[in-house]
Amino acid sequence: MGGSPGGPIDKDQHEVEDWERLADAINSALGGRGLQTTDELRRSIESLEDYRNLSYYERWAAATEKLLIEKGVLSGDEIDERAAEIRRRWEGP
């Protein structure tokens, strides 16, 4: 990866999970609204401390969160509250 040995490549096909489609869609929407550019996302992905431990779309999600907080679009508390609300709804009463 990036010119360094990256180990064997897993060539098996795998299903895209719903949250991964959502991460992709959110990024398209943010780009469409002019809130985020591809280059900003790449820069944010590269600066993730746990980059090597994250999957492709985990990087997107973590980098998008970091970028939106940095740009003042959302606060970390707002994101955490919303995530907790969605988790409650998902898990049911």
Binding site residues, another protein, CB under 8 A:
2-3, 37, 39-40, 42-43, 46, 71
Residue 15 has which token pair?
Answer: 């299903």
Cα 48 from Cα 60, distance rounded (Å):
10
Of 37 and 75, CB closest to another protein = 37
- Choice between 21 and 43, CB closer to another protein: 43
Tokens of residue 88, six digits: 């409650």
Least separation in angstroms between residue 28's CB and another protein is 17
Residue 11 beta carbon to another protein: minimum distance, rounded to whole angstroms: 20
H helix count then E strand count, the chain: 4, 0
Nearest to 59 by CA among 50, 69, 70, 71: 50
Of 5 and 92, which CB lies nearer to another protein in the complex structure? 5
